[in-house]
């Protein structure tokens, strides 16, 4: 790929939002990557779908709820957010339960989308 060429970069979020630093660090790296004019998309699979859940209560674990930050992604021209349909269903969630609009895809289609990326980073 030529220097200065826009790369398709997908961040795959697999972990619950709290208990590790992965979810928050992923979000920070996403914002940094977008600042370099890359074609950024995010995929939420497995427990990663919990990162987008509305109404997270974090007072009891003394951690800041960072889920509202996902609403700021649009300001960084990050509009490609994908959620694995099976992960939502397994957790009893629906797209309406999430803090941002997403495209829900079955695992097979999400896998095909991943195949078309130049870079995939998993958190």
* Total structural domains within the chain: 1
Residue where the block lists tokens 């998993």: 122
Residue 3 inside a domain? The answer is no
Residue 1 inside a domain? The answer is no
Residue 97 makes CB contacts below 8 A (sequence gap 6+) with: 53, 54
How many angstroms from the chain centroid is the CA of residue 77? 14
pLDDT in tens, the chain (123 residues): 556 678 999 999 999 998 888 998 999 999 899 888 899 999 999 999 999 999 887 777 777 778 888 988 988 889 999 999 999 999 999 999 999 999 999 999 999 999 999 999 999
User: Which pLDDT value is given to residue 109?
Assistant: 98
Residue 56 makes CB contacts below 8 A (sequence gap 6+) with: 17, 65, 67
Residue 104 inside a domain? The answer is yes
Residues of the domain holding 63: 8-122
Residue 44 inside a domain? The answer is yes
Residue 59 inside a domain? The answer is yes
CATH (domain of 71): 3.40.1260.10
């Amino acid at each position: 790929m030529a220097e200065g060429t826009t790369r398709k970069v997908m961040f795959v979020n697999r972990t619950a939002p709290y208990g590790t630093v992965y979810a928050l660090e992923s979000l920070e790296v996403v914002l940094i990557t977008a600042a370099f004019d890359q074609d950024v998309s995010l995929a939420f699979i497995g427990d990663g779908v919990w990162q987008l859940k509305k109404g997270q209560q974090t007072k009891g674990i003394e951690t800041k709820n960072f889920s509202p930050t996902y609403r700021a992604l649009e300001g960084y021209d990050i509009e490609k957010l994908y959620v694995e349909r099976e992960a939502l269903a397994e957790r009893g969630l629906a797209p309406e339960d999430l803090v941002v609009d997403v495209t829900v895809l079955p695992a097979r289609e999400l896998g095909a989308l991943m195949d078309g990326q130049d870079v995939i980073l998993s958190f």
